[in-house]
Amino acid sequence: MKIAVWKNAVTYPAFKGLSDTFGSSVYQATREQLTTDLQKGAAHVALIPIDVALANPKEFDILPAVAISSWNNPFAPLTVGSQLGNETLGLIHGVEGRLSALIAAIVLKEHYGTMVALNERTSLPEGIPSDALISIPLEDQVDAPDDQAITLDLGQEWYEMSNYPFVWAVFVTAKGAATDDTITAIRDAIVFIDDHRADFARQWSQDPEVEDFVLNDLRFRLDDLAIASMTELCDQLYYYGITEEIQPVQLASLTEK
């Protein structure tokens, strides 16, 4: 079974844990490659960004029980200066930053009354990470000095807005391809990672901040809180014109025996 994992810092613990279980059949991929590989059958299962999964229910089956969510996310920051609280704000982002940009637009509107104009680029300037967000003022206002810049944790901002952890990625198959064996294998592997997260955290990272995130804030279960968060995001996907209607959260299920 080939398993593709979205190449993102928040999914890295899942990638490492799955690699320990399934070996070289697990690989990392970009947002666009994940979709292509599933459609072509190059991957049987993929851990994909939540916005891709929820916006395309006719293409993917979301597997139950396990997902990647968190109460905060040190890997999804937005740094702003004096433009925080302005009526408008521009955000430049690449394809890999599309989900973070969407969250930023949602929470800035809800928390700070700021309407965000999103500007997606095929590439970002050299030296800037592919998932970075670049904020630019759209009003006639001098930006704050760097020492006055504010960095927002977009995961924490979502939690403060909705009272739910943000779901970053879910496991999917191509539509109609979610078998009992696939669901069980992925579920059991992620549950094992969750149950042994302390051991895994020590193996994966020498960074105390990352280890604390993995131990205390990263969630592997697709429980009621995660589903409620996904339902909230479905509303936002419709509001921002990503879906033509509010899509319900639909999960694949094991065959009743």
CATH number for 156:
3.40.190
Do 116 and 128 reside in the same domain of the chain? yes
DSSP state at residue 148? G
Q: What is the CATH number of the domain that holds 62?
A: 3.40.190.10
CB 116 within 8 A of CB 90: yes
Residue 158 tokens, joined: 């979502």
204 in the same domain as 222: yes
Q: For residue 29, tell me if it sits in a domain.
A: yes
Average pLDDT over residues 182-201: 92
In this prediction, residue 144 has a pLDDT band, given cuts at 50, 70 and 90, of: very low
Same domain, 158 and 169: no
Looking at the structure, tell me whether residues 83 and 158 fall in a common domain: yes
pLDDT value at residue 109: 94
Please give the Cα distance from 198 to 165 (Å, whole number).
20
Asked if 70 and 219 count as a contact pair (C-beta separation under 8 A), the reply is yes
Does residue 154 share a domain with residue 87? yes
Task: Clarify whether residues 194 and 172 are in a common domain.
Answer: yes
Same domain assignment for residues 172 and 45: yes
| 83, 119 contact by CB (below 8 A) | no
25-29, 118-122, 141-145: range with lowest mean pLDDT: 141-145
Query: Same domain for 81 and 153?
Result: yes
pLDDT at residue 203 tops 80: no
Query: Same domain for 226 and 183?
Result: yes
Number of domains the chain is built from? 2
Does any domain span residue 247? no
Cα Rg, the chain, nearest whole Å: 18
For residues 21-29, average pLDDT: 96
Strands 166-174 and 60-70: antiparallel
Q: Domain ends where: 113, 143, 162?
A: 162
- Tell me, yes or no, whether 158 and 220 share the same domain: no
The 10s digit of each residue's pLDDT in 50-73 is 999 999 999 999 999 999 999 999
Which two three-digit tokens encode residue 23?
A: 């070996």
224-239 and 154-162 helices, crossing angle to 10°? 100
Position 184 in a domain = yes
**pTM beyond 0.85:** yes
Shared domain check, 123 and 8: no
Give the Å distances, CA to CA, from 4 to 16, 32, 172, 181, 183. 12, 12, 10, 17, 15
Let me know if residue 122 belongs to a domain. Answer: yes
Q: At which of 105, 135, 162 does a domain end?
A: 162
Domain that holds residue 90: 77-162
Phi first, then psi, for residue 235 (nearest 5°) are -60, -40
pLDDT at 218 over 70: yes
